[in-house]
Structure 1
Amino acid sequence: MSDSGPNRVEQAILGALLMDNRRYPVIEQIITPDHFASRPHRKLYEMIAQCIENGRLADPVTLWRELTSTGILDEYGGPKYMAELIKALPACTPS
């Protein structure tokens, strides 16, 4: 996986959503799936959005099955991919 600036920004956005679904209403007003340059990131954003919009929790555990069945995890290196999304979050987040 690339550590390029845009890729890290995409990872941080996805990680933030996975850690706190309450951020989605604000993020969805600014960011659409088309804003993601990475196809796997775009697909993951769509899956997160669908879960949240349907009233389901979107976190690494609940998305695991769908992520593995679509091949997104394999495409980016398996479980390490999910860990990278979480690591991309800023060190300081409001509580």
Structure 2
Amino acid sequence: MLPPCYRGGVTSSKKQTQVRLEEDVLAAGKAAAAARRLDFNKYVERLIIEDTTGARAAGMAAAQRLIDEHGTFLDDLERQLDAPYAGPRPGAAA
């Protein structure tokens, strides 16, 4: 279950903390946040919430069920979509 501040109730005041990260981990986190159009703090907060509420595990399980149930169809579709690009290109050296 989500904490009260994420259930549409009154939001509590935020607390500040400090985290030490390796430079490349910080850069990867900031890039991931930017790709999701989130600021870094919101990205980290969301990761913690997803991890501690089971939302991440539920999402991963749903994705695995999709692959298990429809993987063959998705593989075939990918091959069909790639087919026009599989042959030699006009004007390309053989």
TM-score range, shorter chain: under 0.3
The structure with higher relative contact order (CA 8 Å, sep 6+) is: 1
- TM-score, with length taken from structure 2: 0.23
**Larger helix proportion, structure 1 or 2?**
1
Greater Rg over alpha carbons, structure: 2
- TM-score, with length taken from structure 1: 0.23
